[in-house]
Structure 1
Amino acid sequence: MMNRMACAALLFFSAQTANAVDLFNGRDFSGWELKTSPAAGVDSVFRMLPGGVVASTGQPSGFLATLNTYRNYKLHVEWRWSGKPGNGGILLHISDGPLDRVWPLSLQVQTKRGNAGDLLPMAGASFAEALTSAAGAEPRIKGHTAPDSERPVGEWNVCDIVSRDGKVEVTINGVYQNSVADSQPASGRIGFQLEGAPYELRHVEIVELN
């Protein structure tokens, strides 16, 4: 059964959908920047499919990021694996700074199969809560708190994220899975990782909050 916090978050998100903006325009990738190693053109990695679906090859390693920055918002993302499920993530608050290999300073919401909803402070990012990974282990993780709520391979998964002044809450398929406070950075760009596995996105929608 969905807990009260998850119910409230989803109801609030539904009430705000009239103000939602789709971060993909359905035609091209204007408003986005691709950073990979080795360097690749966005059209060689991502494709616009009918019905507003965005398909990714998942490689080379790197990330696709918005040009705009965001701080207080509700973000809705739907994703599924195109073939064998693999590794990936939604990057929040991407900011300038030294990269961790190809990964930017950011907070990752994990979409890796079996780990959806984990939160990872990337390349020097931080938050108030303790990590659940072993001391010194990499990657550094605060694991999701409820039982796995991913859907079977081939079905669409739904991630709803609320970010407000450094507090980030994550719901996966209607199940409240994680939250952190005092995240740093508390604002920045939004993006998607490339970690080798092809995947698809749709309904990547944001509602900015006051």
Structure 2
Amino acid sequence: MLKTLAFTLALAAAAPALATPAQAAPNPPLALVDVPKAAGPAVTLFNGRDLKDWDAWLGYADPALTYKRPPVAPIGAGPRSAEIFKAVVEDGRPALYVNGQIWGSLVHKGDFRDYHLRLQYKWGKGRWAPREAQAPNNGLLYHSHGAPGAVWGTWSQAVEFEIMTGSIGMVVPVGEAISAAATAVDDSTLIAPKLRFSPAGRAVTTKGGTADWNIEAYSDAEKPAGEWNTLDLYVLGDRAVHVVNGVPVMEVRDLKADGAPLTHGAIQLQSEGAETFFRDITLEPITSLPRVVAQP
């Protein structure tokens, strides 16, 4: 399903519960330093015209079945995906539209390692059952691999840069084989496992299919609904840094699949209950990661 591009770049899957929105930013604020320069030419992942560089997969016709291991089959690949994923014009510019009404994934055909990915997203107005009353939810998944729909009939295995209001940048291992390590502190305002990323925290591991299924972002850096937000994802080997509107909110390491280092894979965009627009999806190779530091 994946193919290598010109230059070498190389969900809580077990928990339907969602983290509560992130609270006000802890002190001190974080800064991104030693930002790497591009080590080669950039690639645009969305051509602005069509989705020929992406493979679509849809989960169950009724998304409420997603976590219940139903006896029915997911929709899978096919023409119905054109209802959910489209190339459109939004705010006068090309954008990739994700409807959200049926859950699923749009997986880019490239296989990437050691890169800086940047994209912009904004929420549309659509909210769909069973999450119509919850915070709008989507996800940028990286190091995606394996069979489409392997996770709950709906997504490929991956590491998630969460896109959910109040929790933008949270890390979620998508699939029971996936794990990631970070430093975190206890935060009683969150649902279990009540962990929030902090450079000053203790070492913890989050793993799909366990009670420790996520680590919340350090702070909430999202703009008001209806505005475009910029996400930056820096990945080097089995480490990554999540940045929201210029604010670092997560730093992970020891990304693994089935206990082996997870260092490359595809880019995957979720459909998970909320209309979302994406644009300016670009990727460039890097040879180092930026550092996340506490401001004085």
Shared fold, TM over 0.5: yes
CA-CA distance at 1:130 after TM superposition: 6.3
Q: Within the alignment, does 1:172 sit opposite 2:224 as a pair?
A: no
Partner of 2:108: 66
The one-letter code of the counterpart of 1:30 is K
**Counterpart residue number, 2:271:** 194
The structural deviation recorded for 1:26 is: 1.2
Is it true that 1:143 corresponds to 2:216 in the alignment?
yes
What corresponds to 1:163 in structure 2?
235
In structure 1, stretches of 5+ residues that fail to align are none
Separation in structure 2 between the aligned mates of residue 90 and residue 59 of structure 1, nearest angstrom: 17
Moved over 6 A (4+): none
In structure 2, give the amino acid aligned to 1:90: L
SS class of match (2:137):
coil
TM-score between both structures, scaled by the size of structure 1: 0.87
Give the count of matched residue pairs. Answer: 203
Name the CA distance, whole Å, in 2 between partners of 1:201 and 1:118: 19
One-letter code of the match for 1:128?
A: A
- Could you give the per-residue CA deviations for residues 97-151 of structure 1, whole angstroms, max 9, x where no partner exists? 582312321000000111101000110211233677429437x101112x21000
Moved more, 45-54 or 85-94: 45-54
Q: Is the deviation greater in 75-84 or in 105-114?
A: 75-84
Q: How far does residue 18 in structure 1 lie from its aligned partner after superposition?
A: 8.6
Superposed displacement of residue 155, structure 1? 0.2
Cα contact 1:130–1:142 (8 A) shared by 2: no
Q: Secondary structure at the match of 2:117?
A: strand
Between Structure 1 and Structure 2, the one with more helix by share is 1
Equivalences for residues 39-188 of structure 1 within 5 A: 39=76, 40-41=78-79, 42-50=81-89, 51-83=93-125, 86-96=136-146, 99-101=150-152, 102-123=154-175, 124-129=177-182, 133-134=192-193, 136-137=210-211, 140-145=213-218, 147-184=219-256, 185-188=262-265
Residue identity (%): 24
What's the offset of the Cα at 1:2?
Answer: 6.8
Letter in structure 2 aligned against 1:105? Q
2:13 maps to 1:19? no
Instruction: Look up the equivalent residue of 2:254 and give its one-letter code.
Output: D
Give structure 2 stretches of 5+ with no counterpart: 1-27, 60-74, 128-134, 187-191, 195-209, 257-261, 288-296
Give RMSD over aligned pairs: 2.4
Q: Distance in 1 between matches of 2:53 and 2:279?
A: 16
Q: Which one has the largest radius of gyration?
A: 2
Displacement of 1:3: 4.2
Q: Which residue does 1:209 correspond to in 2?
A: 286
Amino acid aligned to 1:77: L
